[in-house]
A = this chain, B = another copy of it.
């Protein structure tokens, strides 16, 4: 993409009402636009980041047998009444609306109920199980406050997966696979080393549920980390008998603020028994399907990455998340050879399938560098009179700042090896 054509512009300062680093940087760099508190649009660069996150999650969910679907946002109250989750006193984040005939509808804040009801139409026998369905879908949550930028939205894109199993053992086995898939996602997203599998309270059907919590001062949550064991517990778990059962000692736990970047639940037969979602077992007996759910908020993950990996100059995207892999900066000062060389380099990268933003604008070098730091693409390639006479391209790493002069013939190697 030629930056002269990109419709977004950077800005020197963020709107005064944005108090979080993630929203400030993402607005300044042109990734997002605020519609209202807790409601953001994704602009071309931001959309590309979300698509990269989607690609990672999709690959990991497909790898453990997930089948992708897309369910509606508009919700039929009946199924939510069946599980006692329609009343605002039970679930306090509903947005509700009405049809012309005055009948009430909800806007999905999660999708256990419709996913289970839909699945019932395709599951009748034990031979039809286990099955795993997931979607990337917009959730609506009527939050009283929304002050965490894109990390807590009133409308946000979520990956939610649901598992349908024959029995607890089958659920347990898949749940463990999902934990590994989630670890892969956060590793690829560049925050694996800061993200902890965190024990939280379970329910009727399991001792624990799990959150994936990323250590970050900007987080809304508080966890207690055992770094050596690589696990954490949330506040509700800080009871001696629980800590003992997990094999951690209160003294070794370090308190930290954190961001919940994912969560997974074993529901057992909650929801499915209430909704009558059953299968015939090998003896022909009707049994409730054993149910689990697995969520990741894409905007929250993007926000967490910005909170954690930015520096004073701007965002520092991990490779798999960055909107582009390379950022060519032409500093021509009117020199046509520089422009020709930069154009050639841009063509070369395109021909090799390397996603590139090319700053071909007629601006001073300082402005271009400042924008480039703010936008945060991993590798910067500078073409100038100086690099031309030195016989190469200046390659700068956004994360380390390391600078090397690379000949044009070696540039593809350098970019694809990194």
Listed in ascending order, the chain A residues whose CB lies under 8 Å from chain B are 5-9, 30, 33, 35-36, 39-44, 46-47, 50, 65, 67-76, 95-100, 105, 107, 114, 118-119, 121-123, 128, 131, 133, 138, 140, 142, 144, 154-155
Contacts and interface: CB of A to CB of B under 8 A. Distances in A.
In terms of DSSP, what is the predominant structure of the interface of chain A? mixed
Given A7-B67, A40-B72, A46-B69, 19 more contacts: A5-B65, A7-B119, A7-B123, A7-B131, A9-B128, A35-B71, A35-B75, A35-B76, A41-B114, A41-B118, A44-B67, A47-B69, A73-B138, A73-B140, A73-B155, A74-B140, A74-B154, A74-B155, A97-B107
A133 B45 CA distance: 12
A253 to B, nearest CB: 35
B122 A76 contact: no
Count chain B CB atoms within 10 A of each CB in A76, A95, A144, A155 and give the residue with the most: A95
A133 B114 CA distance: 33
Copies in the complex: 2
A5 B67 CA distance: 9
A68 B41 contact: no
A36 B70 contact: no
A41 B122 contact: no
Given A7-B122, A35-B76, A122-B9, A70 B97 contact: no
A144 B74 CA distance: 15
B68 A155 contact: no
Given A30-B122, A97-B97, A142-B100, A39 B74 contact: yes
A154 B42 CA distance: 24
A118 B31 CA distance: 12
A73 B74 contact: no
A155 B42 contact: no
A9 B50 CA distance: 32
Considering the complex of A and B, which 3 residue pairs feature the smallest CB-CB distances, nearest first? A7-B131, A42-B70, A41-B71
A101 B131 CA distance: 41
29 contacts: A6-B67, A7-B67, A7-B119, A7-B133, A30-B122, A33-B118, A33-B121, A35-B74, A35-B75, A36-B74, A39-B72, A40-B72, A41-B71, A41-B114, A43-B69, A43-B118, A44-B69, A44-B133, A46-B69, A47-B68, A73-B138, A73-B140, A73-B155, A74-B154, A95-B105, A96-B97, A97-B97, A107-B107, A138-B138
A72 B7 contact: no
Count chain B CB atoms within 10 A of each CB in A30, A67, A138, A154 and give the residue with the most: A67
Contacts of A43: 69, 118
A175 B202 CA distance: 57
A142 B46 CA distance: 30
